[in-house]
Amino acid sequence: MEDVPSYRSQPALIPMVDFEMANPYTPPPSRLQTLRLEDNSGIHASNFHLACQEKGLTPHFTFREPAQGAFIITLSIDGQKLDELGPYASKKDAKEAICKLCVARLGAFDNRKKRKSVSPETDAFAMVPATLNEENWTSTLLEYCQGNKLPQATYTESCTHPSRGPHFCTVRFPGSPITPFGSTTLGFKNKKDAKKAASMDAVLWLRGQGKLEEIGNDQSMTLDGTADPANPLPTFHDAMDVNSCGIAPQGSIGKQVQDLCLALGFSQPEFEIEPLAGAFCNLHARFLPRDVAREPRLAGPIAPVTNVFGKKVAKEECWRELLKILEAIRRSRMHAG
């Protein structure tokens, strides 16, 4: 006869009611409520990092995840706890929120940014003289050479770095001293100022030698800058020979404009350029106030060209527009005479 298993060692069954009373139901923990940002573009985090860079501060972000998909963020600046926020639905939301909140608090921190040491190249920059932009020195030197039938002045330019400078320039012309005008040791931030400075040295030397008159001694101008009727401006016929058709064009378009400016008694124009995207640019010319006082048609930015590809092409177009304006002035003087 087979042995029948005994169940006496097992606990006796109890009613369900008694079991539920002994083991009450405990619901699972509710999901952690997280925060979300409507604007999560990252602009506040970017502004915060820029503000830290300006002050030389180092931010440190730490994240805790108390539940899946819930992030608490802590922000510290150089080891000093600034704030804690959360929980957020993502790390990006958390960082954006705390950066937006704490960017204003950076004002309480001292500026810890180290000053950059001045490079030897920066030390080589010369102080721009206050008189550098009072006259068109390069134009005055050109007019002196043309008026005395001398070859054009020779400029020698050099630089330490083509974009950063410093830029140096010297100038020589027939009759100038052995030592050229300008400098090879004191440079300028751009080539234009270096050339102006060399021309200014040359013009001031010519005036000191009595070879060139001061602009203020121009007898065709009154003290208030207007034309003096008692000393009229030279007519075109006085300045150069013309035929019934006007000037016989010689040389490049730029050379024609320079000759016509000299003939009409104007200084050479300066060009002002506005770089645009790519290699495009806007460009116009400008005459000195004394030229505008003589001829109002030269006032303000003159012969503007816009959105032209390449500085050389833009200047060529500006030359052409200038030639038209100067030719109109020449013809009006001829008819008036």
Percent of the chain with pLDDT over 90: 6
| Rounded (10°) CA dihedral 242, 248, 254, 258 | -20
**8 Å CB contact between 52 and 76:** no
- Scanning the structure block, which residue is given the tokens 């950063």? 164
pLDDT of amino acid 240 = 41
Q: How many angstroms separate the CA atoms of 292 and 276, rounded?
A: 29
Q: How confident is the model at residue 214 (pLDDT cuts 50, 70, 90)?
A: low
Greater pLDDT, 17 or 250: 17
pLDDT of amino acid 171 = 92
Structure tokens at 278: 């790519």
- Scanning the structure block, which residue is given the tokens 């899946």? 68
pLDDT tens, position by position, 167-205: 889 999 988 888 888 887 878 888 888 888 888 888 888
For the domain covering 43-108, report its CATH number.
3.30.160.20
pLDDT at position 220 over 50? no
Q: How many angstroms separate the CA atoms of 84 and 101, rounded?
A: 10
pLDDT tens, position by position, 258-268: 888 888 888 88
Q: How confident is the model at residue 19 (pLDDT cuts 50, 70, 90)?
A: confident
| Rounded (10°) CA dihedral 49, 52, 53, 56 | -150
Q: What is the mean pLDDT of residues 310-327?
A: 88
**Looking at the chain, which residues constitute the CATH 3.30.160.20 domain(s)?**
43-108, 136-209
Q: How many angstroms separate the CA atoms of 85 and 37, rounded?
A: 13
For 269-290, give the DSSP string: PEEEEEE-STTEEEEEEE--HH
Lowest average pLDDT, out of 102-111, 112-121, 228-237, goes to 228-237
| Rounded (10°) CA dihedral 254, 258, 264, 269 | 90
Q: Please name the CATH architecture into which domain 136-209 falls.
A: 2-Layer Sandwich (3.30)
| Rounded (10°) CA dihedral 289, 295, 296, 297 | -110
pLDDT tens, position by position, 253-292: 888 888 888 888 888 888 888 888 878 888 888 888 888 8
pLDDT of amino acid 75 = 92
Q: Please name the CATH architecture into which domain 253-335 falls.
A: 2-Layer Sandwich (3.30)
* DSSP-based three-state secondary structure for 92: helix
pLDDT of amino acid 74 = 93
Strands 80-88 and 70-77, how do they pair? Answer: antiparallel
Cα-Cα end-to-end distance for the chain: 153
Distance of CA 23 to the CA centre of its chain: 78
pLDDT at position 166 over 80? yes
Q: How confident is the model at residue 225 (pLDDT cuts 50, 70, 90)?
A: very low
- Scanning the structure block, which residue is given the tokens 């400075």? 197
Continuous segment of H or E residues that includes residue 120? helix 120-123
- Scanning the structure block, which residue is given the tokens 């998909």? 69
pLDDT at position 118 over 60? no
pLDDT of amino acid 147 = 83
